[in-house]
């Protein structure tokens, strides 16, 4: 039987506990870049298990990933490195930086428009009055993501959740798209459901 040294067992224990807990990244500007660029190849637990590296250490990790084909624009690489160093580095910040207090439209433009204003990638969201009857569904999609074919549409891919947005930011996006008041408390209520992306699709209220 293969034996593992104590350090390996400790590392394995960290990975298992992170996986069991869901282990989201610390919310702060730049976290979205980890989800966008890293999770296509790695689980979030893999990223979290490397916490404690200093800035040169994280830079070396990025350089190694770039050797495997990761393509990062210069500005995004710098922001990603800032986030990894500040939130997962050898001296992580004590508290996560809040999402900037932008309006709902600005947050939509920053986090949603790239996909949802390209009809080949995702369904359009702006200017749809039916959202006024279903703002809770919009919040569920942002918080949990959605996967599988959407009934009555040609879309059958997956949308990843946006866990780096706090409840207030999600509420502003929902309010902008739905045109009805939606609060951080409303988002917290939806977040407490703990749904999976497939459940969000299953309970989609629209045809």
- Domain definitions of the chain by residue range: 6-88, 104-202
Q: What is the mean pLDDT of residues 125-133?
A: 92
Are the C-beta atoms of residues 88 and 48 closer than 8 Å to each other?
yes
Are the C-beta atoms of residues 34 and 83 closer than 8 Å to each other?
yes
pLDDT tier, 102 (very low <50, low <70, confident <90, very high otherwise): low
HEC string of the chain equals CCCCCHHHHHHHHHHHHHHHHCCCCCCCCCHHHHHHHCCCCCCHHHHHHCCCECHHHHHHHHHHHHHCCCCCCHHHHHHHHHHHHHHHECCCCCCCCCCCCCCHHHHHHHHCHHHHCCCCCCCCCCCCHHHHHCHHHHHHHHHHCEECCCCCCCCCCEECCCCCCCHHHHHHHHHHHHCCCCCHHHHHHHHCCCCCHHHHHHCCCCC
pLDDT for 57 = 85
pLDDT-above-90 percentage for the chain = 30
Q: What is the mean pLDDT of residues 60-82?
A: 88
Q: Given the structure tokens 């977040």, which residue do they identify?
A: 191
pLDDT > 90? residue 178? yes
pLDDT for 152 = 83
Indicate whether this model's pTM tops 0.85: no
d(CA 125, CA 118) in angstroms, rounded, equals 11
pLDDT-above-70 percentage for the chain = 82
Q: Give the list of residues 6+ apart from residue 46 with CB closer than 8 angstroms, or none.
A: 15
pLDDT > 80? residue 49? no
Pick the CATH number of 104-202 from 1.20.120.330, 3.30.70.120, 1.10.10.10, 1.10.760.10: 1.10.760.10
State the chain's mean pLDDT as an integer. 81
Radius of gyration of the chain (CA): 19
Comparing 23-37, 60-74, 155-169, the range with the smallest average pLDDT is: 23-37
Comparing 65-79, 88-102, 151-165, 187-201, the range with the smallest average pLDDT is: 88-102
pLDDT for 5 = 54
pLDDT for 106 = 93
């Amino acid at each position: 039987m293969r034996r593992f040294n104590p350090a390996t067992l400790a590392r394995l224990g960290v990975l298992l506990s992170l996986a069991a807990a869901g282990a989201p990244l610390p919310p702060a500007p730049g976290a979205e870049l980890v989800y966008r660029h890293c999770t296509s190849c790695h689980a979030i637990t893999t990223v979290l298990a490397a916490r404690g590296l200093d800035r040169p250490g994280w830079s070396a990790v990025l350089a190694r990933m770039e050797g495997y084909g990761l393509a990062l624009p210069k500005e995004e690489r710098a922001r990603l490195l800032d986030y990894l160093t500040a939130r997962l580095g050898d001296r992580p910040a004590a508290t996560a930086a809040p999402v900037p207090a932008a309006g709902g439209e600005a947050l939509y433009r920053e986090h949603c428009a790239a996909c949802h204003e390209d009809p080949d990638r995702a369904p359009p969201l702006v200017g749809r009055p039916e959202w006024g009857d279903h703002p809770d569904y919009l919040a569920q999609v942002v918080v949990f993501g959605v996967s599988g074919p959407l009934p009555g549409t040609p879309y059958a891919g997956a949308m990843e959740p946006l866990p780096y947005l706090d409840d207030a930011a999600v509420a502003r996006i929902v309010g902008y798209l739905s045109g009805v008041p939606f609060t951080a408390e409303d988002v917290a209520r939806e977040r407490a459901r703990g749904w999976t992306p497939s459940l969000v699709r299953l309970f989609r209220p629209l045809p």
